[in-house]
Amino acid sequence: MPRPRQALLSRQRIIETAANLIDAEGLGAFSTRRLAAELGVRGPSLYNHFATKDEILDAVADSITAQVDVSSFGHGDWRDALRQWGLSYRSALAAHPNIVPHLAQGPGRRPAALAMADAVYGGLVDAGWPPARATHIGALMRYFVTGSALGSFARGFVEDPGFYAAQYPHLSQAHRLAEHQQSVDEGAFALGLDALIEGLSHTYERLVGALPPR
Amino acid sequence: MPRPRQALLSRQRIIETAANLIDAEGLGAFSTRRLAAELGVRGPSLYNHFATKDEILDAVADSITAQVDVSSFGHGDWRDALRQWGLSYRSALAAHPNIVPHLAQGPGRRPAALAMADAVYGGLVDAGWPPARATHIGALMRYFVTGSALGSFARGFVEDPGFYAAQYPHLSQAHRLAEHQQSVDEGAFALGLDALIEGLSHTYERLVGALPPR
DNA sequence: ACCTGAACACCGTTCAAGT
DNA sequence: ACCTGAACACCGTTCAAGT
């Protein structure tokens, strides 16, 4: 097929199809040739729209970051902003765990990731955090959220009930974790987020002074 | 070359060479053929010692997990145990960031990862934590540590000073983060670990009762 | 038991050729 | 401008053949 009157591909269509493919089959099964087949074209056609496979992954990653809500920063209590951002950040990433290893490489030149970093850092500094601490908080939140989205804790244990018995005395119930995957992972994230914010509140009081009433 | 008198390969030598290769060139550049070349053999030879490439990655991951110190659990204050484990866990993983995406898939059937999960969970339950909370704490610590080891926060920003100026008002100093990579990433981890432990202490008091003096 | 070459079905990417 | 087939240098894995 030569060049059609109407272009077969667009960056948008490539990004969406790539995201679906990665969600469904993982980063390992994601190849330019598989993606092209899914789009009804041949592999090389993609190179009219993206320079490399990595650039496609960047675009997919940024389209997911763009879904994170940072509107809570810049007004109100920083603790509420941190919690709302953290929940939104985790929920956006956890919907696409297979792309998280790529996304966790940092914002690089991805616009949505940079806009998020800008809003978070700016919001924390405006709230009174010293700049170095604001950086640390942005970093530690990324650690916690990407780590939680990267791989389910609960699904990390094999489901075979007999597997743990002999060797691991405290893991006799670990085979049941997978059944409760969502509540385990969400419960762990919620407990960690609450603990982080409570701990940071104390640091703030020591460093900056009294917190406003909420 | 036919079969030599003395075997050319061993699981141990394969694991060590694979770890070095992954550290030096990343998961993307790691192939069975490259690994075999490094070992002075041909690709198929590896299949006498491991069933798949994935099994090699599992073995590399577990050899890193085996370096984590969990001896702090089971005696003394759970807060100290959590801190010492967290620091050791992070330091083991951060020395090999390229393998972390594989490692973060959970313990699976890897003995060192299972032994670590067993010690942590057992230690927390013995310290008085309700079982469900002990699971959550193990999970949230894995999130935080793997996230911090997965990708440097500081190196995630481009070093070009002119890059941020126009678009991202609060990131005007972000190009300098890479210079201070180690102190930024370690400072963020330390702040997060302190906050988590302080926050969890309050949860413990509410849930279980008074903490012992330290 | 353990290493080999040949083979299979794949990769990412380049490039000249088509319209 | 945008899609194509052919080509290059790679992949993971299987398998029969060697000693």
Q: What local confidence, expressed as pLDDT, does residue A72 receive?
A: 98
Q: Do B118 and A170 touch (CB under 8 A)?
A: yes
- Cα B193 from chain centroid? 15
| Nearest-Cα residue of chain A relative to residue B177 | A135
Q: Do B170 and A202 touch (CB under 8 A)?
A: no
The architecture in CATH of the region A69-207 reads: Orthogonal Bundle (1.10)
**Which residues pair with residue A108 across a beta bridge?**
B157
Other Cβ atoms less than 10 A from the Cβ of B81: the count is 21
Q: Do B143 and A139 touch (CB under 8 A)?
A: no
Pairwise CA distance, residues B67 & B147, whole Å? 18
Over residues B92-128, the pLDDT tens digits come to: 999 999 999 999 999 999 999 999 999 999 999 999 9
Average pLDDT, rounded, for chain B: 95
The segment(s) of chain A belonging to CATH 1.10.357.10 are 69-207
Residue bearing tokens 């060590």? B16
The segment(s) of chain B belonging to CATH 1.10.10.60 are 11-51
Q: Assign residue A108 a region: left if phi > 0, alpha if psi is -120 to 50, beta otherwise?
A: left
Other Cβ atoms less than 10 A from the Cβ of B12: the count is 11
Q: Is the pLDDT of residue B213 over 80?
A: no
Pairwise CA distance, residues B110 & B203, whole Å? 32
- Superfamily covering domain B11-51: Homeodomain-like (1.10.10.60)
Over residues A28-69, the pLDDT tens digits come to: 999 999 999 999 999 999 999 999 999 999 999 999 999 999
Over residues B161-190, the pLDDT tens digits come to: 999 988 999 999 999 999 999 999 999 999
Q: Which of residues 70-99 of A touch strand D (CB under 7 A)?
A: none
Please report, as a single letter, which amino acid is at residue B133.
Answer: R
Q: Is the pLDDT of residue A3 over 60?
A: no
Pairwise CA distance, residues A63 & A96, whole Å? 11
Count Cα atoms within 13 angstroms, Cβ side, for A119: 19
pTM of the complete model: 0.96
Pairwise CA distance, residues B91 & B93, whole Å? 6
A167, A118 Cβ separation under 8 angstroms: no
How many contacts (CB atoms, under 8 Å) link A and B?
212
Distance from CA of A181 to the nearest CA of B (A): 11
A136, B191 Cβ separation under 8 angstroms: yes
B105, A151 Cβ separation under 8 angstroms: yes
Nearest protein residue to nucleotide D6, judged by CA and C1' positions = A44
Q: How far, in Å, are A3, B18, B31 from residue B26 at the CA level?
A: 38, 10, 10
CB B30 under 7 Å to nucleic chain D: yes
A64, A111 Cβ separation under 8 angstroms: no
Over residues A91-144, the pLDDT tens digits come to: 999 999 999 999 999 999 999 999 999 999 999 999 999 999 999 999 999 999
Our measurement of CA A71 to C1' C19, in angstroms, reads 49
Pairwise CA distance, residues A168 & A161, whole Å? 12
Our measurement of CA A6 to C1' D11, in angstroms, reads 35
